[in-house]
Structure 1
Amino acid sequence: MIEVRDLTKRYGATLAVAGLTFTARPGQVTGFLGPNGSGKSTTLRMVLGLDAPSGGRATVNGRPYAALRRPLSEVGALLDAGAVHPARSGRHHLLALAASNGIGARRVREVLELTGLEQAARRRAGQYSLGMKQRLGLAAALLGDPPVLLLDEPVNGLDPEGVQWIRTLLRGLAAEGRTVLLSSHLLGETAVTADHLVVIGRGRLVADCSTADFLAEHARTDVLVRCARPAELARLLRAAGAVVAEEDAGALAVTGPAAAAIGELAAAHGIGVHELTLRQASLEQAFLDATDAADATTREGAA
């Protein structure tokens, strides 16, 4: 697993990460979310030993990354798909990585096939499209068949088929009992891929819970109502304690009572109902609400 405990990083007077604590566990895809500048990339770099923390610690399978004897066989990482020598072929890039960790050429062939790069394996990486570079970065991350994967924006540049492929791949790897930590700005994709979410804002933890629990807590829900006498139903609902907002074409957005209760109230007063639709905000909106609230709390504390 990946464990982060009281992790802190300062750059002069700037506090990039502030006492961050979370665990990415085996058997699930953990989504790592935060606005730009929230400290996500800095945290990932500290996990991989690329940046030294100012305080706290980050470990992979109980040890700092620098202490891993054969790191590619313990954790696969993709931070920058473009970090490949442009004159080197995809195959030779992987062969060089494999040789550095005692991995045989057979595994290189396997990951090239797994990522769909067999036909392009002998082409120079500088000729690869962004999507192909992403696939090569994933091949490198999978090279050591590691139990832990740490991926930053892995679907960037992939076409819809590629996005579906990597979603299936990551969920399959988690189902095998591996730990998958996925950082992405594509929140809709994260919602259907990640089992668990770690959300940060301004370097601080905002949420650490299942995707379902995060949506239940932060995603606003209402009921869209279309009926024969909207003004009358709105008055009755407000009298019952509901929050009612008028939408286009006489529709009502009702917050508070369940759809069944709204229908029963309308029926009791002879109001014909044409539509009752439960609406839940997307992960994008829940994320914005949660991080905005965290930012407001931080500003109040600073004041």
Structure 2
Amino acid sequence: MIEARDLTKRYGGTLAVAGLSFTARPGQVTGFLGPNGSGKSTTLRMILGLDAPTGGQATVNGQPYAALRRPLCEAGALLDAGAVHPARSGHHHLLALAATHGIGVRRVREVLALTGLEAAGRRRAGRYSLGMKQRLGLAAALLGDPPVLLLDEPVNGLDPEGVLWLRTLLRDLAAEGRTVLLSSHLLGEMAVTADHLVVIGRGRLVADCSTGEFLARHARTDVLVRCARPAELARVLRSAGASVAKEDGEALAVTGAEPAAIGELAAAHGIGVYELTVRQASLEEAFMEATEAAGNAVGTLAEEEVA
């Protein structure tokens, strides 16, 4: 697993990460979310030993990454898809990495096939599209068949077919018991890929919970109602304690009442109902609400500290 404990990083007078703690566990895809400048990339770099924390510690399988004897076989990572010599073929790029860990050419061929680069493996990486470079970066991350994966924006440059392929691959890897920590700005894709979310804002933890729990906590949910006498049903619902707002046309947006209760009230008053649809805000809307609220709280705290 991946563990961060009170991770803190300062750059001069700038606090990039502030006492961040979370755990990415085996058997699930953990989505790592935050606005630009929130400290996501800095956190990933500290986990991989590329940046030294000012305070706290990050471990992979119980050890600092730098202490791992065969890191490619314990934690595969993709932080920068462009980190490959443009004159070297995809095959030889992977072969060079494999040689550092005693990994054979057979595994190189396997990951090229797994990532859809079998036909392009002999081409120079400088001629690869962004999507192909992402696939090569994923092949490198998978080269040592590691139980832990850290991926930063791996969907960038992939076409819809590639996005679906990657989603299926990551969920399959998690189902095998691996730990997958995934950072992405594509929140719609994250909503259907991640089992668990770690959300940060301004370097601080905003949420650490299942995707369903995060949506339930931060996403607005209501019931869209279309009926024969909307004005009358609105009065009935309000008298029962529900909140009702008018939508376009004659529809009602109801909060504070379950669909079954709405239907029973309508039936009791002889009001025909044509539609009852539960609507939940997207992960993007929930994310914006959570991080905005966290940002306001941090800003208030900072003002109080200065005062």
TM range (shorter): over 0.9
Give secondary structure in 1 for the equivalent of 2:249.
helix
Q: Structure 1 residue 164 and structure 2 residue 160: aligned? A: no
**Match for 2:147: what amino acid?**
P
How big is the shift at 1:242?
Answer: 1.2
How big is the shift at 1:103?
Answer: 1.3
**Match for 1:123: what amino acid?**
R
Moved more, 196-205 or 236-245: 236-245
What are the superposed Cα offsets for residues 93-131 of structure 1, whole Å, 9 maximum, x if unpaired?
101111122211111111111111111011100100111
**Match for 2:104: what amino acid?**
G
Partner of 1:238: 238
Q: Structure 1 residue 100 and structure 2 residue 92: aligned? A: no
Give secondary structure in 2 for the equivalent of 1:248.
coil
Q: How does 1:84-99 map to 2 (within 5 A)?
A: 84-99=84-99
Q: Distance in 2 between matches of 1:102 and 1:243?
A: 65
How big is the shift at 1:300?
Answer: 2.1
**Match for 1:114: what amino acid?**
L
Moved more, 204-213 or 136-145: 204-213
Partner of 1:228: 228
Partner of 2:266: 266
Partner of 2:150: 150
Q: TM-score, normalised by structure 1?
A: 0.98
**Structure 2: where are the runs of 5+ without partners?**
none
Q: Distance in 1 between matches of 2:120 and 2:28?
A: 31
Partner of 1:6: 6
How big is the shift at 1:282?
Answer: 1.0
Q: CA RMSD in A?
A: 0.9
**Match for 1:78: what amino acid?**
L
How big is the shift at 1:157?
Answer: 0.8
How big is the shift at 1:271?
Answer: 1.6
How big is the shift at 1:47?
Answer: 0.4
Q: Distance in 2 between matches of 1:269 and 1:28?
A: 48
Partner of 1:40: 40
Q: TM-score, normalised by structure 2?
A: 0.97
Give secondary structure in 1 for the equivalent of 2:80.
coil
Q: Structure 1 residue 291 and structure 2 residue 291: aligned? A: yes
Partner of 2:29: 29
How big is the shift at 1:302?
Answer: 2.1
Aligned residues: 303
What are the superposed Cα offsets for residues 56-108 of structure 1, whole Å, 9 maximum, x if unpaired?
01011111111111110110000010111111110111011111222111111
**Match for 1:242: what amino acid?**
A
Give secondary structure in 2 for the equivalent of 1:250.
coil
How big is the shift at 1:255?
Answer: 0.6
Q: Distance in 2 between matches of 1:118 and 1:276?
A: 50
Partner of 2:77: 77
Partner of 2:119: 119
How big is the shift at 1:285?
Answer: 1.0
Partner of 1:279: 279
What are the superposed Cα offsets for residues 183-202 of structure 1, whole Å, 9 maximum, x if unpaired?
11111111111111111111
Q: How does 1:250-261 map to 2 (within 5 A)?
A: 250-261=250-261
Q: Distance in 1 between matches of 2:101 and 2:279?
A: 51
Q: Distance in 1 between matches of 2:301 and 2:273?
A: 47
Partner of 1:302: 302
Q: Structure 1 residue 128 and structure 2 residue 134: aligned? A: no
Q: Distance in 1 between matches of 2:84 and 2:126?
A: 8
**Structure 1: where are the runs of 5+ without partners?**
none
Q: Distance in 1 between matches of 2:27 and 2:154?
A: 19
Q: How does 1:180-191 map to 2 (within 5 A)?
A: 180-191=180-191
Which ranges of 4 or more aligned residues in structure 1 deviate by more than 2 Å? none
